[in-house]
Amino acid sequence: MKRALLWLPLLLFAGLFALVGFGLLKPANRTVRSALTDKPLPDFTLPALLPGKPGVAKNGYGGGQPRLLNVFASWCLPCKAEAPQLMRLKALGVPIDAVATNDTADGMRDFLATYGDPYQRIGDDKASKVQIALGSSGVPETFLIDGRGRIVMQHVGDIRADEVDGIVAAWRAAK
């Protein structure tokens, strides 16, 4: 019996090593998903951030036309990386609105002048209340709102070039 106990530390170390190795090879998915997917868009109204570009409100959705609602900020580096993909989506006919979180008009003007403006409307969400109401945990995040005003898809993180076709297909299916 005592002889078998001599192997116990080695077995414990091997088990710990295997556990760490499994965790490194298959890390847990820490993406926070919105509980509102497949549910109606929550009630909200955001004023315009920039003159000449309207704000966003729930009543702007559900008229039969699906739209993307992009939660972003001009100070967000991944949002800058995502900008070319949003311009491509706009060029493909996908209407895009935005919730600008914790942003300023000057920062937004600079961002749009540098990276392009794919947005039809930009709402000013200074306190991130709408972002939180949507179930968004960070920027950028994009929601696909179907023609009935329901959130049918959430994209967490910046949209990559290889994801644009899938988003266009989802937008077409949401009509």
Instruction: List domains and CATH numbers for the chain.
Output: 31-174 (3.40.30.10)
Mind listing the pLDDT tens digit for each residue in 11-48? Answer: 889 989 888 888 788 877 777 788 888 999 999 999 99
**Strands 67-72 and 39-40, bridge-based pairing:** unpaired
Beta strands in 16-164 (DSSP E): 39-40, 45-46, 56-57, 67-72, 96-101, 119-125, 141-145, 150-156
Mean pLDDT by 10 residues, the chain (175 residues): 81 89 79 87 97 96 96 97 98 98 97 98 97 94 97 96 98 94
